[in-house]
Amino acid sequence: MKISRRDFVRTVALGGAGLVVGFNGRGIFAADAAKQFAPNGWVKIDIDGAVTLTIGKSEMGQGVRTSLAMILAEELEANWSRIKLVQASPSPVFDDLGTGGSDSVRDGWRSLRKAGAAAREMLAAAAAARWKVDRGSCAASNGAIVHTASGRRFEYGALVADAAKLSVPNNPPLKNARDYKIVGRRTPRIDGRDIVSGKAHYGIDTKIPGMLYASLERPPWIGAKPKRMEEEKAKNVRGVRNVMKTSRGIAVVADNTWATIKGRTALAVDWGEPPPDAFDSEAHFKRLELASRERGFITRKEEPPPGTAAVARTIEATYHYPFYAHAPVETMNCVADVRENRCTIWAPTQAPNRLQKQVADLLGITLDKVDVNVTLIGGGFGRRLGVDYALEAAEISRAAKVPVQLLWSRQDDMKHGHFQAASVHYLSAGFDAQGAPVAWKHTKAGSFHNISALDPKEVRDIAWYQDWSWGAYDVPYAIPAIETAYVTVDLPVKHGPWRAVFAPSSVFAREVFFDEMAHARNADPLAFRLDLLKGADIVKAGRVTIDRRRLRRVLEVVREKSGWGAPVPKGHGRGVACNAYFGHTYIAYVVDLRVNGDGHAHIERVVAAVDCGIVVNPIGVEQQIEGGIIWGISSALGGEITFRGGAAQQGSYADVAVARMRDTPAIETHIIPSNGTEPFGMGEPPVPPIVPAITNAIFAATGKRIRRLPIHPEDLA
């Protein structure tokens, strides 16, 4: 969740070996109070001039290791080629690591700039003192302080011993955006070379001395108990060392990965039959449909101003959003080495501190006895905010008394996900006698993440309900009467954050319904949006502040760049959708597609406009737009998870149809130059508006309205 943060800096001299500047988000602290705070990074400059940045964010494809380094290097005036990165591990100093919510660059912007500037000022002061000149006559540039008048220069490394003795400026001057040399520059990924040469080290690549391998057979539905299994057969598989029951399933431990796979097959666990009331997604949808017509918890209510015309005509529609899996290509995995009162973990995790805490609790040891090493992540998408796989590995290592690598099979990964929860949305709109929209209602029936400890029934705070209905309660359009509501429906299978969290379903329903409203009064859907984004430029809804000017601008750009309004061939269609993600990142898409005779939608082109505030690395922004579009295409054209007998019915990429090269459109990204003062996130915001832009284009092409995802070709044939 978002926490408002102040910045601060402090220094620690490392025995004259270098200058270290630390920072976190909660205020200035004295060194001896450090453990109360949570630095999200450290800057260290060695006497040889090397700059080491400790990254507190997990790299899972958003390029944060590069963009955070860029932010720091900019203010520090560092030599980009001398930047080295170290990944942070949980500790009393790093007690708030975690990657999600598209917050990494935004967090880093606030803290890293100040840390970089403070270090630069101290280095400059040290140089000025040595030369006995004014600080103002010295300039920092490319890893050195230069005395402008005389041309004398000191490399940073030569200054760190002096600089470390100085006090830290509380409010070092930050650079003017006009003077940026690194921020805003197209900067290749720091990890790029390692990735293309096979050297990049992901969780699955961890190997430590004495390590054995493990696979875990989990109960297929909640409460399932094994009736029979062939334990001896499994143990007879060459390489299998042991078969062990744990609280989370039956583990096969072996000398190598292949033996764990064979051992688990030989084990042939018979789980019997699920109970008749085991979870079934079709029945769940019926509950959601009924719930969507309840009054629910009101998340926003705008009363119409006096004089608003009466409703003369109402339209309504119901939208279904299914379950999805994250399905990252690197399956869940973890290496755990549990010793007497001590544990070391290597994990591809988005939540290192949560992982450390839960492993410590499981083993009954204190936090300082659990070391967590964060590896590169082969796709996160929110799944690795859950730490279930680390707990499993720790339990197996404890039982086996050796370090183990637990690796999930693809089937495990699909069937035991923390799924995107299904939801049903009821929307209605009222028009006055002249056809102007005067009333809007959106009720979302859904389920909050049950991987957290929060019990939705105990929650009374409106902010939670608003979070669960991102994209619904923060409807940006100027309609006099607005009522949005949320209804919580119990969901007994694991569900958690999935890329863009609660927004994709709400924005799908909202943006498709808005299209339906436009068509109900024969209005152009893009012009209709712009019309209803007039009025007050700034709209507040809960914690979200929407700047309609920015939303209008992205719509105007895609209108111009896509050739919106030009005729399209028969069978082709063009659709639009937009969103202001948490009031931060503004995106509009125009999708061009054709629907073949067999009902297959082929998305040919997507024109995107994005305003994410200050752009740190344009390559990263483009990549996230492209990736968000492909992610959305996966969810539009397939990828649904269904449940029968309490278990997911899909188990591989063969029956969860994720987007492939052949599904990929041409993508044009237009980045709006920002006059803003900070950068906003890009990992999640590109996802929500793409699916409604696709289904709106399908309507334009076929006259068929998609209100249930994913799209089935038989619906369009």
For 313-371, give the secondary structure using H, E and C: EEEEEEEEECEECCCCCCCCEEEEEEECCEEEEEECCCCHHHHHHHHHHHHCCCHHHEE
- 3-state class (DSSP) for residue 407: strand
Cis peptide, bond prior to residue 618, ω within 30 of zero:
no
**Is 488 or 635 the residue whose CB approaches another protein more closely?**
635
Q: Which residues are at the interface with another protein (CB under 8 A)?
A: 59-63, 188-189, 191-193, 195-202, 204-205, 207, 213, 238-239, 256-259, 261-262, 326-331, 376-381, 407, 409-410, 619, 623, 626-631, 634, 652-654, 658-664, 666-667
C-beta of 188 vs 571, nearer to another protein: 188
Least Cβ distance, residue 230 to another protein (angstroms)? 18
**What minimum distance in Å lies between the beta carbon of 332 and another protein?**
12
Q: Which is nearer to another protein, 314 or 596 (CB)?
A: 596
Q: Calculate the alpha carbon distances from 239 to 212, 235, 255, 684 in Å.
A: 10, 8, 5, 43
Nearer residue to another protein within complex by CB, 82 or 189: 189
CB count within 10 Å of CB 357 equals: 17
In the complex, minimum distance from the CB of residue 634 to another protein, in angstroms, rounded to a whole number: 8
Rounded Cα distance between 76 and 64, Å, is 18
- Pairing mode, if any, of strands 51-55 and 297-302? unpaired
- The Cα 191–Cα 606 span in angstroms is 28
**Least separation, in Å, of the C-beta of 648 and another protein?**
16
Cβ-based neighbour number of residue 614 at 10 Å: 20
Cα angle vertex 380, ends 26, 190, to 5°? Answer: 75
CB of 515: closest distance to another protein in angstroms?
Answer: 24
DSSP 8-state assignment for residue 223: T
Residue labelled with tokens 């926490």? 3
CB of residue 525 to another protein, shortest distance in Å: 26
| Nearer Cβ to another protein (471/686) | 686
For 396, the 3-state DSSP assignment is helix
Least distance in Å: CB of 202 to another protein?
A: 6
Q: Closest approach of Cβ 296 to another protein, in Å? A: 34
Residue 206 Cβ, how far from another protein at the closest point, in Å? Answer: 9
Q: How far is CA 172 from CA 42, 71, 79, in A?
A: 17, 15, 20
CB of residue 284 vs another protein: minimum separation in angstroms? 25
Residue 104 to residue 364: CA distance in whole angstroms: 32
Q: Using alpha carbons, select from 499, 191, 216 the residue that is nearest to residue 334.
A: 216
**Residue closer to another protein (CB basis): 1 or 196:** 196
Q: Nearest approach, Cβ of 266 to another protein (angstroms)?
A: 12
Work out how close the CB of 693 gets to another protein at its nearest, in angstroms, rounded to a whole number: 16
Q: How far is the CB of 255 from another protein (least distance, A)?
A: 9
Residue 155: burial class (beta carbons within 10 Å; 0-12, 13-18, 19+)? middle
CA atoms within 13 A on the CB side of 618: 11
C-beta of residue 712 within 8 angstroms of C-beta of residue 600: no
Angle in degrees, CA 103, 104, 107, rounded to 5: 80
The label of the residue with tokens 């619904």 reads 472
AA letter at 140: A
Task: Judge whether 448 and 454 are in contact, CB under 8 Å.
Answer: yes
| Between 361 and 604, CB nearer to another protein | 604
Residue number with CB closer to another protein (240 or 427): 240
Which residues, in sequence order, are CB contacts of 138 under 8 Å at separation 6+?
124, 127, 128, 131, 145, 146, 147, 148
CB of 563 to another protein, least distance (A): 20
| Residue 635 and residue 507 in contact, taking contact as beta carbons nearer than 8 Å | no
Residue 193 CB, shortest distance to another protein, in Å, is: 6
Question: Is 414 or 507 the residue whose CB approaches another protein more closely?
Answer: 414
Alpha helices in 383-429 (DSSP H): 388-400, 410-415
Rounded Cα distance, 300 and 311, in Å = 20
Of the pair 148, 256, the CB lying nearest another protein is at 256
Which residue type does 437 have?
P
**CA dihedral of residues 590, 596, 597, 600 (deg, nearest 10):** -90
Quote the least distance from Cβ 702 to another protein, whole Å.
Answer: 23
Look-up of token digits 């309205």 = 705
Cβ-based neighbour number of residue 436 at 10 Å = 16
DSSP state of 218: P
- Give one word for 656, left, alpha or beta, with left for phi > 0 and alpha for psi -120 to 50: beta
Question: Which residue's CB is nearer to another protein, number 313 or number 660?
Answer: 660
- 378 vs 525, beta carbon nearer another protein: 378
Contact 315, 516 (CB under 8 A): yes
